[in-house]
Amino acid sequence: MNPSLIHTLVLLTIFTSFAAVESRNLRHATVAYLFQALLIVALLVAYSTANRVLLYWAGTALVTKAILVPWFLWRATEKTQHETRPVIGFGISTVLLIALLSGMYKFTHTHAGLFTSPSKEMAAIAATNLAVAFTVFTLGIYAILTRRDAIKTVIGLCLLENGVHLSLVSLAPGIRETALIGIATEVVVTVYLLLYIIAGIRDKFGSTDTFQLSELHW
Amino acid sequence: MHNEVASILPVLVVAIPTAAAVLIFVFGRVGFWVHETLALLGVAGAFGCTLAVAHQTIQGTALESFSRQFYADSLSSLIMFLVSGIGLLATIYSLKYMRQHAEHAELPAATSMHRLTVFYGWLMLFVATMLWASVSNNVIMLYVAVEASTIASGLLVAFYWDKRALEAGYKYLMLLTVGITFSLFGCVLLYAVGASMIGGARGLLITDLRQIAGSFPLTTVVLASAFLIVGFGTKAGIAPFHPWLPDAHAEAPTPVSALLSGVMLKVAIYALVRTVSIFFPGFSPVASFALGIGVFTLVIGDIMALAQDDLKRMLAYSSVSQMGYVLMGFGIGTQLGIYAGLFHVLNHAMAKALLFLAAGAVMYSTGVRRISQLGGLAKKMPVTAFCFFAGALAISGIPPFNGFQSKLAILVAGGKAGNWWAVAIGIAASLVTLVVAAKAVKSVFWGDMSPAVAAEGVREAPLSLTIVMVVLALLCLGIGIYPKAVYEPLKSAACVLQTIPHAEGSMIASQR
């Protein structure tokens, strides 16, 4: 396992998350998400030198995250590619990202006992990986809460799930393939169904702006 | 402790409705009768298997399959009984109810056929995934099954495909998926620590994690409990994670509403207590936190229910409140508290399914669901009025109905454990529930007939709808009059959560 390669990959993962959240063009955001999925696959392959099981994870991530989900998102953005203006813009998002990453890094490195690793070096890598995973997860929630465009909220959901996937590498590397495939498959089906319903929303409401979803109150 | 016997039944109970769903999707174009027959066979088969499982678990035998990945004890049997039993009644109710939708929606025949294929196919998958959650002993697959039940019901919530249904469907899928993801973190933490103690294969099994939970580090206990409560609690409608619930339960077709409120919430609370309760003996603050959040939920639910004019939304908020009662019972943490919580799970499942189905019968006949637009309906729909009245009394905790018995048990358990503040709030909230129910009964069924009710063509619901409602009403009354009938199965289920390997110094030990 090459620590510098892994650090480069995880930092690029943060960058692609931010690009996916902040890009105002939904197709650009989809491409950023695709790059992130490929980075996660590369990360899993890099980790697999210490744990061969992670090669299965890389294969699952390649099919579900790097092929199926981007394909669904690409199809869903055929009619509209411009995102509805979000609630919070670029500047505040940048400040929040830096604060978030610093906080997560400190938390995971002071609570290293949450996971077990055979060596000190691997424990440090696992802690960094966990910090990045929690940051990507929180960025996903941030996107869901602050983006008005329904398709962007689905991209937020995908980021959130990527954060979970990354965290599993540190927390549960020995997990069975059946459980992993179950988790990965559910993400794909959920994204498909959400985009299917959002297509219906576009037909009935005339846009994918979630602020227009105001039929149901209290 | 249960004796364990290898059996295929826990797998069959999931496989039968899944197979029915596949057949419905494949042969859906043949005719309405194909959907209906396959759905009935699928859910009746699951109910039959459940009875066979319950027959053994009640005698203290647990059934396991695939190296204990599937595991049915008396607690699982209780949830399986609710899922398949109310699933069967909801499917019978759907036959006429959904046929009316298909015939009156002014859609082309092929479209109607497709819509009913979607309805019955996903309905079977919904039932199957909830049964899967009931028998999953693998902590990660428990999460997968609970999330699968959200996916299976997503299109059912958006079934009517109008603005309201689409909004409800989007919120339902998005909020629940985000919420339940937190429970995945909780499950993974349990596994990660468990696997480091007893190995990867055993670290996945809830039954084995229960044996070692007392040795978990405090940080893990706090983080895992918080993640599990937020995750499964979102799905169970626990406040403040409940906003998806009134939208989804109100906008779904009525038989689905009955399953969402009557059963799905119980499956989620089952997942919650099955996992979090492993910490109860050694870490009593976890139980106290559950008690606090339960009381908060019942207050919020009741206040919101009071403000509703939409009959189904009112019932949905009432479900939030009643889930607070259930969590309160579990949070008390004593043997009586857990027994009472499970008793209320059973009673609320029946009463709330009954109320939603009665509300559906009102909509079926009048086409109206606003309380302010209804009135005097008892003159034209006496059976529905009786059934709604029975359900309203049951959830209000009025004797001789079943809700009285379980609410009384929760309050007594709270008093015995010294949680008088919770008892006082519980009694006050119960009075508010009574006001909400009385307001609905009076406005919808008593007084002068409103124009919508006086209109020609408004009459009692068809026999297949009323039979289902009468069965549930009689069960509510029967259990209320003779609670001993369910005492043994509930006691046995409560004992599963009371397995205390590390009881020394625990809250439960101090109650004894």
Nearest chain B Cα distance for residue A170, angstroms: 9
Q: Among B137, B162, B181, which residue terminates a domain?
A: B137
Q: Is A145 on the interface with B (CB under 8 A)?
A: no
Regarding whether B318 and B293 lie in a shared domain, the answer is yes
**Cα separation, A62 vs A124, whole angstroms:** 26
| Cβ contacts of B140 on chain A, cutoff 8 Å | 172, 175-176, 179, 182-183
Q: Among B121, B137, B153, which residue terminates a domain?
A: B137
Contact in structure between B348 and B395 (CB atoms under 8 Å): yes
Regarding whether B153 and B101 lie in a shared domain, the answer is no
Domain ranges of chain A: 3-212
Q: How many domains does chain B have?
A: 2
Strands B3-6, B61-65: pairing kind: parallel
Cα Rg of chain A, angstroms: 18
**Cα separation, A181 vs A57, whole angstroms:** 8
| Cβ contacts of B189 on chain A, cutoff 8 Å | 114, 171
Number of other CB atoms surrounding residue B387 within 10 Å? 27
Give the Å distances, CA to CA, from B68 to A28, A138, B59, B110, B200.
Answer: 46, 35, 19, 45, 14
**Interchain contact, B140 vs A164, CB within 8 Å:** no
> Scanning every residue of chain A, which has its alpha carbon at the shortest distance from the alpha carbon of B184?
A164
**Element of type H or E holding B296:** helix B284-306
Contact in structure between B206 and B275 (CB atoms under 8 Å): yes
**Interchain contact, A189 vs B155, CB within 8 Å:** no
Q: Is B217 on the interface with A (CB under 8 A)?
A: yes
pLDDT tens sequence for chain B (512 residues): 568 999 999 999 999 999 999 999 999 888 888 999 999 999 999 999 999 999 999 888 999 999 999 999 999 999 999 999 999 999 999 999 998 887 777 777 788 888 899 999 999 999 999 999 999 999 999 999 999 999 999 999 999 999 999 999 999 999 999 999 999 989 988 888 888 888 878 888 999 998 888 888 888 888 899 999 999 999 999 999 998 999 999 999 999 999 999 999 999 999 999 998 888 766 778 888 889 999 999 999 999 999 999 999 999 999 999 999 999 999 998 889 999 999 999 999 999 999 999 999 999 999 999 999 999 999 999 999 999 999 999 999 999 999 999 999 999 999 999 999 999 999 999 999 999 999 999 999 998 899 999 998 899 999 999 999 999 999 999 999 999 999 999 999 998 887 544 333 333 333 33
Regarding whether B356 and B372 lie in a shared domain, the answer is yes
Q: What is the DSSP string of B356-416?
A: HHHHHHHHHHHS--BGGG---GGGT-HHHHHHHHHHHHHHHT-TTSHHHHHHHHHHHHHHH
Question: Phi then psi for B138, rounded to 5 degrees?
Answer: -90, 120
**Interchain contact, B192 vs A190, CB within 8 Å:** no
What is the pTM assigned to this prediction? 0.93
Regarding whether B317 and B185 lie in a shared domain, the answer is yes
Q: Among B96, B122, B137, which residue terminates a domain?
A: B137
Structural domain including B119 reads: 1-137
- Listed residue (B236, B426, B410) closest to B337, CA to CA: B410
Non-local CB neighbours of B197 within 8 Å, separated by 6+ positions: B203, B212, B215
**Interchain contact, B174 vs A153, CB within 8 Å:** yes
Interface pTM (ipTM) of the complex?
A: 0.91
Non-local CB neighbours of A9 within 8 Å, separated by 6+ positions: A39, A42, A43, A46
**Best residue of B144, B151, B170 to probe chain A, by most A CBs closer than 10 Å:** B170
Q: Give the pair of three-digit tokens for residue B148.
A: 């699968």
Going A120 to A123 to A127 to A129, the CA torsion angle's sign is positive
B161, B162, B177: residue with CB nearest A157:
B177
Regarding whether B220 and B121 lie in a shared domain, the answer is no
